[in-house]
Amino acid sequence: MKKRTIIAILGVLVVIIGITAYLNLEGLAEKQELAEEARFMVTFGDGERNITFEMADIRELGEIEFTAILRGGGRPGREYTFTGVPLRNLLAEIDDVNLADVDMFVVRSVDGFTVAFTYAEIMAEDNVYIVYKRNGEPLGIRAERGTGPYRIVVRQDPFAMRWARYAVELELKMK
């Protein structure tokens, strides 16, 4: 009896995983296309509209260079020089949205990684950046073993736990 129960549970799990994978195929293809074309999309929680930024658009929003230490995998941290813009500069380009009315800012990556930020974190001075170069070189896309085309770097996160490689989308979840 125990063996049948385990097999039944495993069967249900396989079906659930299969359905979830199928439902995410369309979103994955769209995200891969965004990455390949170096576009970054801001979507609104209501699903009614989105705004896409090209690399050239983003670079014009106050490009800066800064250093940050990337720690992870039990290895000692390494210092890198990143080039990018504060994420709040990109959001300032969206005219008809009061950012204080956003409940959560959710970044999504090609690989499925998701990280959320509050209004205070996004607006904090010298904190959340969308970067596109590391040590003067473009990040490259995942298919080319890169970490971009965009990466979210959180300067006030000492362990880089909320940094997002392969970032392609920012969803604004309204209150």
At residue 139, the pLDDT reads: 94
d(CA 79, CA 81): 7
At residue 95, the pLDDT reads: 83
For the entire predicted model, the pTM comes to: 0.82
The parent domain of residue 129 ranges over 2-174
Which residues in the chain land under pLDDT 50?
A: none
At residue 15, the pLDDT reads: 77
d(CA 61, CA 138): 17
At residue 29, the pLDDT reads: 65
d(CA 147, CA 125): 25
Q: Record the tokens describing residue 120, joined without a space.
A: 């205070």
**What's the domain count of the chain?**
1
d(CA 168, CA 164): 10
Contact 142, 35 (CB under 8 A): yes
At residue 97, the pLDDT reads: 84
What CATH number has the domain bearing residue 72? 3.90.420.10
